[in-house]
Amino acid sequence: MKIFLVFLFFLPSCSFINGPEGYFPDKKNEFLKDKIEEDIALPSSLSEPSTENHYPVTDLEPIEESLEVPKPRQIFASSGNSSVQLRRLGELMWIYIETLPSTSWPISKNYWETSVYDVTKADPNLGEIIIDFDQNNNLLMKVEHGIKEASTELFLYQVNKKNQTIESNPEFIQAEMEKIVEYFAESVSTFSGTSLAAQNLNEMKKASIFTEDGKTVIALDLTYDRAWSSVNKALNEANIVTNDKDRSRGIFYVSYAKEEESRFFGLFGRNNKDNALSNEQIAFGEESQFEISISEENNKTFVRAVSKSGNIEESEQLLSKINESLS
């Protein structure tokens, strides 16, 4: 009987303990009473912190019936504008972006997730996004590491749903990729975050260097046609003068005559103010001639440089400059 009376005594006291006026009131809705305070005034001797408020509170405004879905808000500091280009070689088209694939992945994913299409699969390990385009076709976007260090290449394919074959529709693909280029151009300079799930893509580089019989060789994970085009572009970018080329044999002929001093420094993209230093670092003979060869082996292409005089150091210098200019 005493136990029952004690129970009756404590039963009404629950509100006394947990009620609004009790010792331990429920505070789950207290945040509704919060107000936005003024920013902290820092002394003149201190600078503003470089961090950013990831969850800013904004004044509530009436919501319109039809709103355009905004681009993802930037929550990481940007290191500067990156180059975004649409490139084409025959029917092969790709988007070149000067940023890591782990940064391009979330932007690519957001592009499709905010579109009118449904994303049926997004695999950051493979860098593949599958989009349900229409009744007969899917779109497949592939995010890959580019040839150049810290670069991305985006590919877009139209895939038949029934037999999973890639449809040839270059006009449509180009139109769609132009929209992606515009989106990236607007987003990449203000969205430089990185996806931890897509970090694996950063290691899947298309260009690597190894030594063969004491000589440096550039290995490219590219078809022969694209490797030839890439090396040709690198020679132009590096201001290396090509005297002749034989595409059927995969050879570029490059030469330098010592008396043409301005051409010498143009060969390796040097400025006149660097002439004295360059003369010490690159000691060419009276007339340096080179053969740059491209060969295809085991689904890869290899770039080698040979000096006609047999000077290995000269050919290594030339190959190094080509490697820097590949993109």
Same domain, 172 and 211: no
Position 52 confidence tier, pLDDT thresholds 50, 70, 90: low
Name the maximum alpha-carbon separation found in the chain.
117
What residue type is assigned to position 85 of the chain? Q
Confidence of residue 51 (pLDDT cuts 50, 70, 90): low
Residues 210 and 321 in one domain: yes
My answer on whether 170 and 127 are in the same domain is: yes
Backbone angles phi, psi at 17, to 5 degrees: -90, -50
Structure tokens at 253: 């002929």
- The answer as to whether 149 is a domain residue is yes
CA distances to 3, 8, 104, 156, 174 from 115, rounded to whole Å, are 67, 62, 17, 15, 17
Kindly write down the DSSP assignment for every residue of 69-81, as one continuous string. Answer: PPPPPP-S-----
Do 289 and 308 touch, CB atoms closer than 8 A? yes
Strands (E), the chain: 84-89, 92-97, 118-123, 128-132, 137-145, 152-160, 166-167, 207-212, 215-220, 242-246, 251-257, 287-297, 300-307
| Residue 212: partners with Cβ closer than 8 Å, 6 or more residues away | 304
Q: For residue 131, what is the domain's CATH number?
A: 3.30.530
If phi > 0 it is left, if psi is from -120 to 50 it is alpha, else beta; for residue 164 that is left
d(CA 299, CA 171): 28
- 259 pLDDT band (50/70/90 cuts)? very low
Domain, as residue range, for 197: 84-202
Instruction: Kindly give the residue spans of alpha helices, DSSP state H, lying in 114-169.
Output: none
Q: Residue 109: enclosing H or E segment and its boundaries? A: helix 101-113
Residue 22 lies in a domain: no
Q: Are residues 252 and 316 in the same domain?
A: yes
Tokens of 250: 């995969």
For the chain, the domain total comes to: 2
Other beta carbons within 10 angstroms of residue 237's beta carbon come to 15
Percent of the chain's residues with pLDDT above 70: 70
- For residue 117, the 8-state DSSP code is S
Tell me, yes or no, whether 239 and 291 share the same domain.
yes
User: pLDDT at position 97, please?
Assistant: 94
pTM for the complete prediction? 0.66
For residues 96 and 191, state if they share a domain: yes
Claim to verify: residue 187 and residue 288 sit in the same structural domain: no
Q: Which of 282, 289, 323 is nearest to 306 (CA)?
A: 289
Residues sharing a CB contact under 8 Å with residue 204, sequence separation 6 or more, in sequence order: 101, 127, 144, 145
Please write the tens of the pLDDT for every residue from 175-226. Answer: 999 999 999 988 877 775 788 999 999 999 999 999 998 889 999 999 999 9
Strand, coil or helix: 239: coil
